[in-house]
Amino acid sequence: MKFNNLDHKLFWPAISFTFLALGLAVFFPEQSGAAANAGMKWVTNDIGWFIQLAGFSSLMFLLYLAFSRFGNIKLGTDSDTPEFSYSSYAFMIFSAGVGAALIFWAVGEPMYYMQSPPMFAEQGSPEAAQWLITYTLFHWGPTGWAIFCLPAVPFAYYLHKMKRRNLRLSQLLVDIIGEKHAKGIVGYIIDIVAIFGTLGAFSTSMGLAVDLIGAGIENLTGIQNGIEVQVGIIVLFIAFYALVMFAGMKKGVSKLANACVYAAFALGLIILISGPTAFIFSYFFDSLGVMFNNYIRMSFWTDPVQKSGFPQAWTMYYWAWYFAYLVMMGVFLARISKGRTIKQLVLTTITFGSAGCSFFIAIFGSYSVFNEITGALPILQWMTESGVSSAIIQTIKSLPFGGIILVTFLVVEFFLMSTTMTSAAMAVSMMTTKELDHDADPDVSVRMIWAIGIGAVSMAAFFMGGSIDTIKSMCVVVGLPMIVLYFMLVVCLMKWIRRDHPELFAQTVAAPAQVSDNAVELNKVEA
């Protein structure tokens, strides 16, 4: 097995730490689950406000960056042109929001809110009903996509503008921590934290996908959705990835991924047309209005007095999850943004990413709410008795030609997660490779090992109980340290811009002097 250009000092400690986490989960499942839950409780109760402030600050900073004089900075040399047409570029970002986790929560999240409404609304009241997909849209909207986008700007600047080839996070932070520390123990700690954060973030998505596919298999075959089935599904993910890597099927898989996205949209349109179309449109736009009317309140609500636990269990969890995607989303968005401006990267990501998520939330979420409040389907009862995955599967099967649609849905979910797994393995493989030629890929063997590592971390959640709360707890714990790295990247980005574009900063210095000169002239005239 070849390991071309492998950074052994980073790769082996990182992969060892990954399998150590799996070992602890397998041999000490209760203690590991309790530790994850305790970690989440401490993070959300004591410093949850910091997570929310960081999320909102990410959105504000990116909007400032896009609409200021920095927005027109090109991510590449003057001669670089975009590799993709704008429509293809927007679609790739748009489709990045389409995945198993989104569809899982598009149906499940409103049902959870129906049980425990936010903003002190009474359960079952009309006031509670207006918040059901409002908060879901908020959690998958502009702030979340800003968190995804923020690291992409420095990654893209570093990769395309500065033409650097080593994508270790510590190398991007040299201007803060220094060359000596970047190549020493401090740098390796930063990189290991970033890698494990990526594994933890993606494993959350995979955990939800595996449970959903397992519930579908149980519904179709009667085979119980237990840990054996769940581990088997993860092994299938890894096996498919191996087939793709070693059989040279990358282009075919790319086309398959696009086909799956189209199939997911087709499924949404089937629900829109065959379901309560008027209600879906009306409920979506009403919820959109409620969200924008309360955006600031929702962004900073910590509920310190009544302590309902809602913002801790949901908003803080989501933001921590998104922060943990630092490397994966940063690298993905950066690689497709060559030749774009900072403004194009920021606005396209926030706008089209949010739109992609809103499409599914509007349809799947509104459809589930309609069926529950009209009594057409006992979705909340299904969720209480069998879990949210089972409720989603039964909801889909209730559609016309439900059996065929369900099989199609499960196939789409499997391939969507498989292609996302490709991106995750690619991101961490690039970090553990010393240097790559521009646009080159890491060694296949390295990517394969990291694919197994991703599967291992996903298995850990199921050995620790496999509950939604356990999966969420893992994500919050790994997401917290990533916030610090986010803001270090922001500082580095502004240092690079100041170095490469001093004229943009000179504008702010010259302005007061110009005002003073005008004032002097005015005084002369008056005299």
| Residues 32-85: tens digit of each pLDDT | 878 878 888 888 888 899 999 999 999 999 999 999 999 999 999 988 999 888
The confidence score (pLDDT) of residue 254 equals 65
Determine the average pLDDT of the residues in 395-411. 90
pLDDT bracket for residue 520 (50, 70, 90): very low
Q: Determine the pLDDT at residue 390.
A: 93
What's residue 253's pLDDT? 61
Q: Is 17 helix (H, G, I), strand (E, B) or coil?
A: helix
SS3 of residue 365 by DSSP: helix
Residues 416-424, mean pLDDT to the nearest whole number = 80
3-state SS assignment for residue 222: coil
| Identity of the residue numbered 186 | V
Residue 6 φ then ψ, to 5°: -70, 135
What pLDDT does 367 receive?
A: 95
Q: pLDDT band at 135, cuts 50/70/90? A: very high
Residue at 130 is within a domain: yes
Tokens of 169: 């996070």
Residues whose CB is less than 8 angstroms from the CB of residue 8 and which lie 6 or more positions away in sequence, other chains included = none
3-state secondary structure of 114: helix
Residue 296 lies in a domain: yes
Domain span at residue 441 reads 8-519
Please report which confidence band the pLDDT of residue 496 belongs to, taking 50, 70 and 90 as the band edges.
very high
pLDDT, mean of residues 263-281? 91
Question: Which position has the higher pLDDT, 204 or 4?
Answer: 204
* Predicted local distance difference test score (pLDDT) of residue 40: 82
Give domain status of residue 2, yes or no: no
Give residue 3's pLDDT band: very low, low, confident or very high (50, 70, 90): low
- The answer to whether position 524 is within a domain reads no
CATH number of the domain to which 309 belongs: 1.20.1740
What average pLDDT does the segment 304-329 reach? 92
Reduced to 3 states (helix: H, G, I; strand: E, B; else coil), residue 164 is: coil
pLDDT on residue 527:
41
Consecutive H or E run containing 13: helix 8-27
Residue 527 covered by a domain: no
Contacting residues for 230 by C-beta, under 8 A, at least 6 apart: 210, 211, 214, 459, 462, 466
In a domain, 375, yes or no: yes
Summarize pLDDT for 359-376 with one digit per residue, the tens.
999 999 999 999 999 999
For residue 74, what are the β-bridge partners? 341
pLDDT at residue number 49 = 95
In a domain, 132, yes or no: yes
pLDDT at 416 over 50: yes
Q: Please write the tens of the pLDDT for every residue from 439-494.
A: 667 888 888 888 888 888 888 777 776 566 666 677 777 788 899 999 999 999 99
pLDDT tens string 485-495: 999 999 999 99
**Can you spell out the DSSP letters for 44-93?**
HHHHHHHHHHHHHHHHHHHHHHHHSGGGG-BSS-TT---SS-HHHHHHHH
Percentage of residues in the chain having pLDDT higher than 70: 90
Structurally, how many domains does the chain consist of? 1
pLDDT at 524: 45
- pLDDT band, very low/low/confident/very high, at 507 (cuts 50, 70, 90): low
Q: pLDDT confidence of 419, banded at 50, 70, 90? A: confident
In the three-class reduction of DSSP (H, G, I as helix; E, B as strand; rest coil), residue 123 is classed as coil
Question: Tokens in use for 188?
Answer: 């390796």
List 433's β-bridge partners, or say none.
6
Task: Report whether pLDDT(99) > 90.
Answer: no
pLDDT at 380 over 50: yes
- Rounded distance, CA 251 to CA 392, Å? 32
- pLDDT bin (cut points 50, 70, 90) of residue 514 is very low
Q: Specify whether the CB–CB gap between 49 and 481 falls below 8 A.
A: no
Length of the chain (residues): 527
pLDDT at 205: 84
